[in-house]
A and B are shown apart, each in its own frame.
Chain A
Amino acid sequence: MRILFAGDEHPYSAYALKKVIELAWHTWADVTLLAVSPTQPSSRDPMPEALHRYREEFLEALGGSDSPYAQERWEYEWMALRNGSWEEVQVRRGIKKELRVRLRVGNADTEILSEAVRDGSDLIVMGCSGKGKSCTWDSASSTAPQKVIGNATCSVLLIKEDRPINRVLACLDQTAASQESIEMINQILTIHGAQLELVGLTRDGGAKPEAYTQLIRLGDYFGDRGIPINTRLAEQSKFESVLSTHTGDDLLALWMGKKSLLTLLFPRDWVEKFASACPSSVLVLR
């Protein structure tokens, strides 16, 4: 698994980093810590300083000698310089798994999405400010979390608060859940020892046979693997009231594949608005 942490210098990003550390502790994922500066930064700018701090924190938690991220592997690598030339430098890498620290310059959401594609990320983890009705960054790139959630091609975990995850409320429409998204749910459930509640969304009082098939398939999948699961159906028009039943210790997971009913029924930016309104952390699955 490859995890891309995208943060800025504010405290909510530190919460998200804690979640990344927790995920990395269990999955031994390759991790990239990314920040985006709107202009060419100097070493005293907040983004490089924040990245430095995040790297220190990550390695303090996971850099011990028995850790896969222990920085004990020395290699020579070619690094691009600004003037178009290259320099061969000696770098220290994780002994078994990678921790990379990257700074990009430009528009935050564009650069984060671009890095996720370049890096082959399976999961983007971001924090955002505000409890409840907001989902923004306190910087010039205020809408970056919403834009990334709405446009990423991989799954996105948006951390809203530093809280445990005791239950995953996973909402599924009538499209097929990808194998990658099911595996992502598996990992989240395993790591947190969380319960799973699967909500199948129906339309106009019923669901297509494929929707029932999908729910049964997923129920069997998790049941066969010893994961306790509650399954229920909910009318799409009452979706928001379903969501009101969940608490701050829940993680709301939304399957948002390309053919998702959610993206068909709601305006393109719906998921962005929804992620803002949702009081708990959100996992958008793709």
Chain B
Amino acid sequence: MTSDRKTTVLILDDEPIVCKRLKPALEKAGYEVESFTRSREAMHRLTERSFDVAITDLKMDGLDGMAFLTEVKKRYPETEVIVITGFATMETARESYQKGVFDFVAKPFKLGEILDVVKKAETKREALLKN
């Protein structure tokens, strides 16, 4: 990280085990992390504050990940969104990119892979902010 301010990350996945695994790993890497298992609660949090990076699952009850991605980009275009999914298809991957996703990562993945992607998203954001 290049400044004193920590990069902020929101995690949304309806499987608690995913949040439980990702949150400490990202915090250990120096990020400020909030995790949610319900999209409604994550959406509510977005009305209160923005995040630098959002990681969201796709298949969830209620507001699904694609709708969440749309809403995040509408509200905060500068937030980089990473989609993670256990039910990947070419259609959902393409749709995610059309909606402005930073990266599309199929499960399963190693923690190192998602940390690499978050780092790239952070680097992209920093480069954009400098310009």
Binding site for B on A (CB under 8 A): 1-2, 25-30, 66, 68, 96, 120, 122, 179-184, 186-187, 190-191, 225
Contact = CB atoms under 8 A, between A and B. Distances in A.
19 contacts: A1-B109, A2-B110, A25-B90, A26-B88, A26-B90, A27-B106, A28-B93, A120-B112, A122-B108, A122-B110, A179-B15, A179-B17, A179-B108, A183-B86, A183-B107, A186-B86, A190-B86, A190-B87, A191-B89
Given A1-B108, A183-B108, A28 B86 contact: no
B100 to A, nearest CB: 13
Contacts of A68: 93, 104
Interface in B85-121: 86-90, 93-94, 97, 103-110, 112-113
B107 A190 contact: no
Interface residues on B, range: 20 to 34
Contacts of A122: 108-110
A181 B108 CA distance: 8
B108 A180 contact: yes
B65 to A, nearest CB: 13
Contacts, number: 65
Contacts of B125: none
Most buried by A among B21, B87, B106: B106
Given A179-B17, A179-B21, A191-B89, 6 more contacts: A1-B113, A25-B90, A26-B90, A68-B104, A120-B112, A183-B86
A190 B106 CA distance: 12
Contacts of B105: 1, 28
B113 A2 contact: yes
Contact of A29 (B15, B87, B106, B112): B106
A29 B35 CA distance: 25
B59 interface: yes
B107 A26 contact: no
Nearest to B87: A190
Contacts of A187: 86-88, 106-107
B107 A1 contact: yes
A25 B15 CA distance: 25
Interface string B1-35: 00000000000000101100100000000000000
A183 B59 CA distance: 13
A186 B59 CA distance: 12
A45 B14 CA distance: 50
A156 to B, nearest CB: 14
Given A2-B113, A28-B93, A190-B89, A184 B104 contact: no
Most buried by B among A68, A187, A225: A187
The list of the 7 closest CB pairs from A to B, nearest first, reads A27-B106, A180-B108, A183-B107, A186-B86, A183-B108, A1-B106, A27-B88
Interface string B55-91: 0000100000000000000000000000000111110
A25 B17 CA distance: 27
